[in-house]
Amino acid sequence: MPIVNRVADLQPDIQAWRRDIHEHPELLYDVDRTAAFVAERLREFGCDEIATGLGRTGVVGVIRGRKAAGQREIRGIGLRADMDALPIVEATKLPYASRTPGKMHACGHDGHTAMLLGAARYLSETRNFAGDAVVIFQPAEEGGAGAAAMIRDGLLDRFAIDQVYGMHNGPGIPVGSFAIRPGPIMASTDSVDISIEGRGGHAARPHLSIDSVMVGAQLITALQSIVSRSVDPLESAVVSICEFHAGNARNVIPQTAELKGTVRTLTAEVRALVEKRVREVVDGVARITGAKINLKYERGYPVVVNHPSQTDVAIQVAKEVAGDANVQEMVPLMGGEDFAFMLEQRPGAFIFCGNGDSAGLHHPAYDFNDEAIVFGTSYWIKLVENTLAA
């Protein structure tokens, strides 16, 4: 039976799993129910090996092909799905909406998990490949670096993963379509925390004060000049200060202020340049204004960089599933993804699967489109059978 037809038969079960997970969202590493649900399904499917507790709450299943691997260069590939939800109040009013106030699957990780479970069920039934298919269910993608935690716990070496692949749903991409590109596809995500100490005073006597609000305003303006005047116009960078906290009275110049923001870049070179310039700007504004300014600059997720050969493999698989016309080369996104840590350690590729005309990711009205299940699940299956062909 063709893969897509078989997956269509499985679709009701995969949809039911997805909606169950959607009803019970969990955050970061606290995905105990979801992880237990995943492990139980993998046991039902007859996976050859199941490991829990990697990266605290991650789950891994190993499915061994029925064909001899021989002396193949690639003996095992990893397929990764994320399990965690977001601290958002759901606004969908769907019958399967979140039962936990203040938490929801607003990024489609419920769909990612269900589709990979569907692929694991099919692959466990057929085993029409040579080598190991390693299904990876990861916690804490949403800011917790769960991918790095699983790697530290030996994920890639313990399960002999030679290549690793990831997938995310894409609102605005038609259902039945895929989007991908070689090289940088998603940005690094660094954080900026700035605390300012000036000299508080009366609003009518600013000359006797060091105005922390004015200092903060100067910092925001100066930081924006980094992208416009320090970064090559043909490169990409974002500096966004999204929090500014100061004062609590209209006639008092506040002693302190705090700024918080994010930096996004698409190459290691631009990432280093922007960090250097942020530090220089903060030091310069402190000297000019006389304020004491403390900068905490923390590097977060690296750039997601697709490897060329594995991207070609992913494109070919997507075309076999969706048709040549439904696989597009996309522009890079300035959002971040901790799958970047896996791609730093192993060759692989990250692809987007169309979610149709849905609300955007991280929006209270977002919902994963169940019509995408057949395409995403089929992609996973075909990727294993092509990459690990006898």
DSSP letters spanning 190-250: EEEEEEEE-B-EETT-GGGSB-HHHHHHHHHHHHHHHHHHTS-TTS-EEEEEEEEEE-S-T
Q: What is the pTM of this model?
A: 0.95
Partner residues linked to 215 by β-bridges: none
What are phi and psi for residue 179, nearest 5 degrees? -140, 140
Q: Judge whether 85 and 27 are in contact, CB under 8 Å.
A: yes
| pLDDT the model gives residue 72 | 72
Q: What is the distance between the alpha carbons of residues 295 and 246, in angstroms, rounded to a whole number?
A: 16
pLDDT at 2: 67
> What was the pLDDT predicted at 194?
98
**Cβ atoms 134, 61 nearer than 8 A:** yes
* Phi/psi of residue 229, nearest 5 degrees: -125, -10
Distances (CA, A) of 142 to 28, 55, 65, 154, 362: 7, 14, 33, 21, 10
Over the stretch 26-50, which tens digit does the pLDDT of each residue have?
A: 999 999 999 999 999 999 999 999 9
For the chain, the domains span 3-185+303-387, 188-301
So what's the architecture of 188-301 in CATH?
A: 2-Layer Sandwich (3.30)
- Distance between CA 95 and CA 367 in Å, rounded? 12
The rounded distance, in Å, linking the Cα atoms of 222 and 211 is 17
Q: How far apart (Å, rounded) are the C-alpha atoms in residues 258 and 260? A: 7
- Count CA atoms within 13 Å of residue 280 on its CB side: 9
d(CA 46, CA 62): 10
Using one digit for the tens of pLDDT, what is the confidence trace for 286-298?
A: 999 999 999 999 9
pLDDT 10s per residue in the chain (390 long)?
Answer: 567 778 999 999 999 999 999 999 999 999 999 999 999 999 999 999 999 999 999 999 999 999 876 667 789 999 999 999 999 999 999 999 999 999 999 999 999 999 999 999 999 999 999 999 999 999 999 999 999 999 999 999 999 999 999 999 999 999 999 999 999 999 999 999 999 999 999 999 999 999 999 999 999 999 999 999 999 999 999 999 999 999 999 999 999 999 999 999 999 999 999 999 999 999 999 999 999 999 999 999 999 999 999 999 999 999 999 999 999 999 999 999 999 999 999 999 999 999 999 999 999 999 999 999 999 999 999 999 999 997
Neighbouring CB atoms inside 10 A of 38's CB total 28
**pLDDT at residue 243 in the model:** 98
DSSP 40-105: HHHHHHT-SEEEEEETTTEEEEEEE-SB--TT-S--EEEEEEE--BBS-------TT--SSTT-B-
Q: Rounded mean pLDDT of the chain?
A: 97
Domain 3-185+303-387 has CATH 3.40.630.10: yes
